[in-house]
Structure 1
Amino acid sequence: MSRRAFLRRSAMATAAVAAGPTLLSACGSSPAAGGGGGEGAMTFLSLLPLETLSMSPELLAVAGGHFAKHGVEVELQAVKGSPQAMQTLLSGVGPVSRIGQIDVMTAVAESKQPIVNIGTLSRGSSLRIVYSKNDPLEKPEDFVGKTIGVPSEGGTSSKVVSLVLANAGLDPAKTQQQVTGLTPGTFTLVQQGRIAGYAVSIDTANIVQSQHDDAGVFDPGTVVKADTQVYVSTREVMKNNPEALKGFMAGIHDALAAYVADENFDKTLATLREKYSFATLDDDTIARKSLGEMREIWTGGDPDQPLLVTDESAWLAGYEELTKAGIAKPGGDATSWFDNSMLPESQA
């Protein structure tokens, strides 16, 4: 299949995504805007809602013209969690997604799915567990016997909660998980005692803390190594349409580089706000704080470190952690599950 035909198929297949996901295209004026993928469009499958700064690399790559600069027009398509993101990717609806390292390793090790990590975005956990200080979740032992809200059953957040417990030698089955919303409003369930806490993005955690004096936040990255986020594609796409993926990853790289270079985020926020509007982006304090925390995770605290490059030793350490916890099947060749060749040559 030619690159043009592939891109056309990706655009046409967008409508096949289940459960009425939100669509954001380069033509849209806000995350809720419709947008039609015309010729030359490719679809990015997002496990996250689009109205969050956790999507800031993709949002800036669209709004700042970074994708267009590299010859790709990208539509951002939200799906319901990492399981659906992987299923939709494998079905051929979109050529690229972003999911957790945990999901990649469990899927490939268990069922040998042809999914490949083509670039590591975060070098730490982008997840936060929001709780009430009246019943704190400050260490793994505090989770035992409690109910934790997660956005989807069996998704990244669910596996991270289990890994937090397993790494501390605790039985994950002793912590109940319940599917809940991701919004700041879900904190009322915590205050009512219906759940002990719930998993959210960094910007949502920050806005909850700004609204509620009794809100506390647990960072799973303090006890978990494998909770990184990676861009993934399939071996078929990598073989038949590498230029499309290279254009996408180059656009993401340029967007990340813009965030790193923009010390106070003045320019990047202005660019985002010309096109998008949602709660955490519109709140200047929350936006700057959240982007600052995310930048630390993208760079691993070292702005000179190559962006998006998967470090083999860190990748293998994550697999070892998952196998020891019984979350991923042992014996796999984890070195074959990532490939830096889709990144800009200066990075790969």
Structure 2
Amino acid sequence: MSGLKVTALGVAMLAAAFTGATHAQTSINVGCTATTDCASAAVALSEGIFEKNGLDVTMTLVGLNSNIPAALLSDSIQIGGPTPSVFLQAVDGGLDLVAVAGASSTSATTFDTAGVVATSASGIEKPQDFVGKKVGAPGIGAFLQVLFSKWLIDNDVDPREVDFVEVTFPTMDDTLRSGAVDAVVTAEPMMSRIIANGTGQVAGYFLETLPERRPAIFYAATRTWADANPEALAAFRASIEEAADIVNENPDKGRQAIAGFTNIPMEVLSSMKLSVSDPQLDQEQLDWWVTTMNEQNMLQGSPDTATLIQK
């Protein structure tokens, strides 16, 4: 009888250990700026998709996109949402980072989710009017500033004649209202908030002429973390793919998740478009960004894009 008791106890202990192992969760802090581009991560968090896939995820709001590589390197976040230009400049500078999943990309239907917003006092109405003006951007060298500069170049304006300063998304409305800058290069949901407040109006949609599926944001990590956590990375990718479908098919859930992450009211978010969630990422997309950045002399070397997407 005692032998049977021991056996039963052993089975119970094994069952408890097995149950604990299956519910063990990997902790990941995901850092993104206050845009709609990380909607897939926000939805995966709010809808319990990360948890279902064995991940304990928190999200951290990062003021400037250009701060994300340093945050990854310090391990204060494990996965971040850098723009391709910030990512490539960090790699060009010697940081060993890898892209791990797509987040958002350009689309002909969502070109107006980003733009340059100017005050009426600035007198800005066309690309040539930006010469000599002070323009705030959420990271010098980040997606918005680089593509705004490309738009200026395409309209025969030298971006070196524009005075760029870094302004975080949450402070854009106040900075523009104070007259500290003449315009801001911004995106949703902040763009709708600035316009709704009457602080400025759109002076140009610089994404309008871009090819389809150029990544605006993608998820990245240090190569060390990605190599050490293949199962967690696979679970993260599966979560992002599931959440991306929700964002694209049910934008209201995306807006609600973004509101929870950014603290921007739903009344501001309710009427705006969301960026297209695009979890796929390939080398050709990175090569396009390298070409675009080389037009602006932003890279010292030639990044080997074939090695920059974690398999």
> Aligning the two structures, in what range does the TM-score lie when normalised by the shorter sequence?
0.7 to 0.9
Q: Distance in 1 between matches of 2:256 and 2:291?
A: 42
| TM-score for both structures, normalised by structure 1 | 0.69
CA contact (8 A) 2:43 2:247 kept: no
Q: How many equivalent pairs are there?
A: 281
Residue 115 of structure 1 deviates from its aligned partner by: 0.9
Within-5 A mapping of 1:87-236: 87-108=70-91, 110-124=92-106, 127-133=114-120, 135=122, 137=124, 139-152=126-139, 155-183=142-170, 186-187=172-173, 189-190=175-176, 193-212=179-198, 215-222=201-208, 228-236=216-224
* Matching residue within 287, 306, 311 for 1:335: 306
Residue 253 of structure 1 deviates from its aligned partner by: 1.8
Distance 1:223 1:327, change over 3 A: farther
Q: Distance in 2 between matches of 1:269 and 1:189?
A: 25
Residue 269 of structure 1 deviates from its aligned partner by: 5.4
CA contact (8 A) 2:137 2:164 kept: yes
Distance 1:193 1:44, change over 3 A: closer
Structure 1 residue ranges without an equivalent (≥5): 1-37, 299-306, 342-348
Q: Which protein has greater RCO, CA pairs closer than 8 Å, 6+ apart?
A: 2
Q: Secondary structure of the residue that 1:253 maps to in structure 2?
A: helix
State the partner residue of 1:84.
67
CA contact (8 A) 1:102 1:227 kept: no
Residue 243 of structure 1 deviates from its aligned partner by: 1.3
Structure 2 residue ranges without an equivalent (≥5): 1-23
Residue 89 of structure 1 deviates from its aligned partner by: 0.6
Q: Secondary structure of the residue that 1:239 maps to in structure 2?
A: helix
State the partner residue of 1:62.
45
Q: What letter matches 2:191 in structure 1?
A: A
Matched, 1:279 2:264: yes
State the partner residue of 1:16.
none
* Matching residue within 63, 73, 94 for 2:56: 73
Residue 58 of structure 1 deviates from its aligned partner by: 2.3
Q: Distance in 1 between matches of 2:201 and 2:75?
A: 41
CA contact (8 A) 2:29 2:76 kept: yes
Q: Distance in 1 between matches of 2:132 and 2:29?
A: 41
Residue 191 of structure 1 deviates from its aligned partner by: 5.4
CA contact (8 A) 2:68 2:80 kept: yes
Q: What letter matches 2:198 in structure 1?
A: H
Distance 1:326 1:129, change over 3 A: same
CA contact (8 A) 2:101 2:220 kept: yes
Q: Distance in 1 between matches of 2:178 and 2:227?
A: 52
More displaced 10-residue stretch of structure 1: 63-72 or 326-335? 326-335
* Matching residue within 320, 332, 347 for 2:291: 320
Measured against aligned partners, the alpha-carbon deviations of 1:142-188 in whole angstroms (never above 9, x if no partner) come to: 321110012445555444444443454543221112333534x7446
Q: Distance in 1 between matches of 2:181 and 2:264?
A: 24
CA contact (8 A) 2:118 2:202 kept: yes
State the partner residue of 1:250.
238
CA contact (8 A) 2:244 2:279 kept: no
Within-5 A mapping of 1:267-306: 278-280=263-265, 282-283=266-267, 286-290=268-272, 292-294=273-275, 297-298=276-277
Q: Distance in 1 between matches of 2:287 and 2:257?
A: 37
Q: What letter matches 1:229 in structure 2?
A: I
Q: Secondary structure of the residue that 2:271 maps to in structure 1?
A: helix
Matched-pair identity in %: 17
Residue 207 of structure 1 deviates from its aligned partner by: 2.2
RMSD value, Cα:
3.2
